[in-house]
Structure 1
């Protein structure tokens, strides 16, 4: 008990020192909002909730022409910047569609936990079902590829047998400091939800405060790392359902506890907003595409086990 009290006191002092030493620090301001709220949460629970505020890499997008975006920089659409002898990913005999590339050197300054490689590039490819038509959400319908270098890249023309309707208007990506809290249906919040009737009031005010402090566009769901900003229920449940190959409501009810447990093992790698990424919308509709990864794979720089799901309105 003494150790717990000392731990609580120490954490409180650390946060209070941070708040007083740098009043303009965004993370401190967010935590201060929680600690000084008139919520019925005990001060210890306010502190615990404030510790759930997670650094996130915000994404701003600007429509450009490819010639106005330097080779190797982060972007959505346009021609990809690829290394020589690149093996274009396929589904069966059909080529996947290039959607985006993320330069990790640009992200590094905002990845405060250093969970991503400090350099290199991540490419996103997704298969388009031509009969539907639209992005296909199946295990073999997408590929995220990590390339360790950026000094060997060449802006590359599309293969002759490429699905030309899947060539998108280039959009430049710029990153900024942001923060997120767990989705309001996340099991991470179960303790607070069950103990305090007014928890959602604090939750909602914190969510709105984060949007204001970080200038996060609530209508733009592009993002790297952090907690998922889901359109429906927590996308972590969707990751679990995809792994368990659940397709019916009865299967979901039967495996509900397993879904909740599996949802703990994934972290958000990135989310790509079709509706706010120029003409990705013609194949993604008003949906956001979420990519999850297990922490052990991220630590090993293994991007082969990425899981992808869609959520939309």
Structure 2
């Protein structure tokens, strides 16, 4: 069985000549992301080629271009504004429209074949961090912009309706890869600067993607976005302690 481009890239990182010496300048502090969880460095741990390979992640960057609603073609990927829904799908009750993603627009960057070949993903937000996701795989020529439901049917419309309804962006996609080590939640310039140019070029050829030194908030794949600490290794494994708030004595 042929290995995936990501595995080929990680194999190259592990075996690249003299890479260990190049990585000695990196500070092994805080956490790194190994593809499953954020892990704290041990006191004497270093950034090695093996660890660096674990921290290699591929993602699809999402770029926003703010446009008037009428300027966004029917069926294109977009954020906020009005959804382009087929007759077979209903607007989820008590939700705002967040985004629609036309899979055909980014499928060519899905190098591990996670998504189907086509279809539309709709994301609706109830403004309380709960989302409803719908999938439609029918013909796109039946899609129509659907106006917002009455304000009184939405949660706290005085705070959210204008934000979700009256601003909209066209979305576009591009492939990227990044090393989640020797940085904070967003800034990974240190590790990128330490990499040999010929290694970066080889990785870009394998992954058909450009390297990134900044972790964007809007993307597909890559390091999941969590509240502080929720993605750390072992989070939630221990039993919660019960605390008695009553005064003793």
Tell me: CA distance 1:125–1:38, structure 2 relative to 1, closer, same or farther (3 Å): closer
Match of 2:74 in 1: 71
The ranges of structure 1 where at least 4 consecutive aligned residues each deviate by more than 6 angstroms after the TM superposition are 11-14
Q: Answer yes or no: is the 8 Å Cα contact 1:65–1:169 preserved in 2.
A: yes
Contact 1:119–1:149, Cα closer than 8 Å, also in 2: no
Q: What is the aligned partner in structure 2 of residue 126 from structure 1? A: 125
Q: Distance in 1 between matches of 2:10 and 2:165?
A: 53
Question: For the structure 1 residues 208 and 181, does the alpha-carbon distance in structure 2 shift closer, same or farther, using more than 3 Å as the test?
Answer: same
Instruction: Map Cα deviations across residues 67-116 of structure 1 (whole Å, 9 max, x no partner).
Output: 211111111111101010322212xxxx2110111111111121111112
The 1:169/1:13 distance shift into structure 2, 3 A limit, reads: closer
Cα distance in 2 for partners of 1:113, 1:207 equals 24
Q: Which residue of 1 aligns with 2:133?
A: 144
Cα distance between partner residues in 1 of 2:193 and 2:132: 34
1:221 equivalent to 2:224? Answer: no
| CA spacing shift, 1:222–1:183, aligned 2, 3 Å | farther
SS in 1 for 2:107: helix
Listed as ranges, the gaps of 5+ residues in structure 1 are 1-10, 20-30, 128-134, 186-202, 255-313
Distance 1:159 1:32 in 2: 60
- Aligned residues: CA RMSD: 4.3
2:12 is aligned with 1:15: yes
Number of the residue aligned with 2:102:
103
Count of paired positions: 189
In structure 2, C-alpha distance between the alignment counterparts of 1:61 and 1:153, rounded to whole Å: 22
> Structure 1 residues 227, 234: CA separation in 2 closer, same or farther (over 3 Å shift)?
farther
Unaligned runs of at least 5 residues, structure 2: 1-7, 27-44, 155-160, 201-209, 243-249
Task: Tell me the TM-score normalised to structure 1 length.
Answer: 0.48
Which residue pairs with 1:260 in the alignment?
none
Tell whether 2:113 aligns with 1:114.
Answer: yes
- How do residues 1-313 of structure 1 correspond to structure 2 at under 5 angstroms? 15=12, 37-39=22-24, 45-90=48-93, 95-127=94-126, 135-137=127-129, 141-149=130-138, 151=140, 152-161=142-151, 163=154, 164-165=161-162, 166-182=164-180, 205-206=190-191, 214=210, 216=212, 218=214, 220-228=216-224, 233=228, 235-237=230-232, 251=240
Distance 1:125 1:40, change over 3 A: same
Match of 1:72, SS state, is coil
Structure showing greater Rg: 2
CA distance in 2, matches of 1:78, 1:68: 12
- Distance of 1:52 and 1:88 partners within structure 2: 39
1:172-222 deviation digits (Å, cap 9, x = unpaired): 11111111344779xxxxxxxxxxxxxxxxx76225679xx8475848411
Q: As a proportion of its length, which structure holds more helix? A: 1
